[in-house]
């Protein structure tokens, strides 16, 4: 079974001192550590697990500059067979443009499954996977927590609200957006990444894809990014139940809430 998995390099922002860019539409990334998007890491592991049980190949694809090849090397070290980096140049990317670029490359490849992460760590957008499926004309499912290929079908488990899951079958080829927790991504050593350097990695300039200017025009625009305002700490109310309740009612009324 041939699987294509789409990955993205994102900045590590936990415990980082974030600074807004001069334009005010993003954060300064120069001093931030870059790593693979968490959801995509699970997607790569799932693709490799499917290859190990079903046979076939795994192809990892990303859009970015040469530094983003780190996430492709990681995917190759995890068990992917080949990788493709699409160089966007200086073009502005949003979910629409990304889906168009990926679809242009993927449509000429052999595959039974296309996997993406549910969303991206950097912008929390969950649109690329579904838009990519629509562009490719594929059946699709989102927030997938289980995949079991069964010939021309796949038995999938989808996370619903309220702690419920839905189990169904989907016709292949299809696209699935993978949820964290579906598996346990394997450890990747430095030596493994170095060995992965011998595997095939193809670079395609976006200008070589023959996409129209309309396909490469973003449909969304970030107008402003700002840090959340600093607030005071929580106020702890002590006392018996009656006095605590009275104080809560007083605070609520002071905030202008009618009860």
Q: Following DSSP, what letter does each residue of 206-244 receive, concatenated?
A: GGGG---TTTTS-S-------PPPP---PPPP-S-HHHH
Q: Which comes out higher in pLDDT, residue 232 or 176?
A: 176
What tokens does 112 get? 């039974």
- What would the mean pLDDT of 127-137 be, rounded to a whole number? 97
Q: Which of 73-87, 106-120, 227-241 has the lowest mean pLDDT?
A: 227-241
Handedness of CA 75, 114, 173, 164 (dihedral sign): positive
Output the pLDDT for position 197. Answer: 84
Q: Which of 112-116, 221-225, 255-259 has the lowest mean pLDDT?
A: 255-259
d(CA 245, CA 212): 63
Q: H or E segment at 204?
A: strand 200-205
- What would the mean pLDDT of 196-209 be, rounded to a whole number? 93
Q: How many CB atoms lie within 10 A of CB 216?
A: 18
- Mean pLDDT score across all residues of the chain: 93
What is the number of residues in the chain? Answer: 259
- What would the mean pLDDT of 24-44 be, rounded to a whole number? 92
Output the pLDDT for position 233. Answer: 77
Q: What is the pTM of this model?
A: 0.86
**pLDDT tens across 1-14, in order?**
999 999 999 998 88
Cα angle for residues 113, 93, 128 (degrees, 5° grid): 30
Query: What would you measure as the largest C-alpha separation in the chain, in angstroms?
Result: 72
The separation between CA 79 and the C-alpha centre of its own chain, rounded to angstroms, equals 19
d(CA 29, CA 11): 7
**pLDDT tens across 53-110, in order?**
999 999 999 999 999 999 999 999 999 999 999 999 999 999 999 999 999 999 999 9
For domain 3-209, which CATH number applies: 3.30.70.660, 3.40.50.620, 1.20.1730.10, 3.80.10.10? Answer: 3.40.50.620
Strand, helix or coil for residue 53: helix
- What would the mean pLDDT of 114-138 be, rounded to a whole number? 95
Decide: 117 and 36 in contact? Cβ < 8 Å: no
């Amino acid at each position: 079974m041939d699987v294509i998995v789409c990955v993205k390099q994102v900045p590590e922002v936990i415990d980082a001192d974030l600074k807004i860019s001069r334009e005010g539409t993003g954060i300064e990334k120069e001093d931030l550590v870059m790593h693979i998007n968490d959801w995509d890491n699970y997607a790569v592991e799932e693709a490799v697990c499917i290859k190990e049980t079903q046979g076939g190949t795994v192809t990892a694809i990303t859009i970015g500059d040469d530094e983003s090849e780190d996430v492709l090397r990681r995917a190759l070290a995890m068990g992917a067979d080949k990788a493709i980096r699409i160089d966007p140049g200086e073009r502005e990317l949003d979910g629409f443009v990304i889906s168009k670029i990926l679809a242009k490359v993927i449509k000429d490849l052999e595959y039974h499954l296309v996997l993406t992460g549910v969303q991206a760590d950097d912008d929390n957008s969950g649109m690329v996977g579904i838009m990519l499926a629509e562009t490719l004309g594929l059946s699709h499912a989102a927030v997938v927590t289980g995949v079991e290929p069964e010939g021309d079908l796949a038995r999938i488990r989808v996370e619903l609200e309220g702690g419920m899951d839905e189990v169904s079958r989907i016709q292949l080829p299809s696209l699935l957006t993978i949820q964290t927790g579906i598996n346990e991504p394997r450890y990747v050593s430095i030596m493994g990444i170095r060995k992965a350097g011998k595997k095939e990695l193809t670079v395609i300039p976006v200008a070589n894809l023959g996409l129209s200017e309309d396909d490469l025009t973003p449909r969304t625009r970030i107008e402003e990014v700002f840090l959340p305002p600093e607030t005071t700490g929580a106020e702890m109310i002590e006392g018996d139940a009656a006095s605590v309740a009275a104080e809560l009612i007083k605070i609520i009324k002071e905030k202008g809430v009618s009860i």
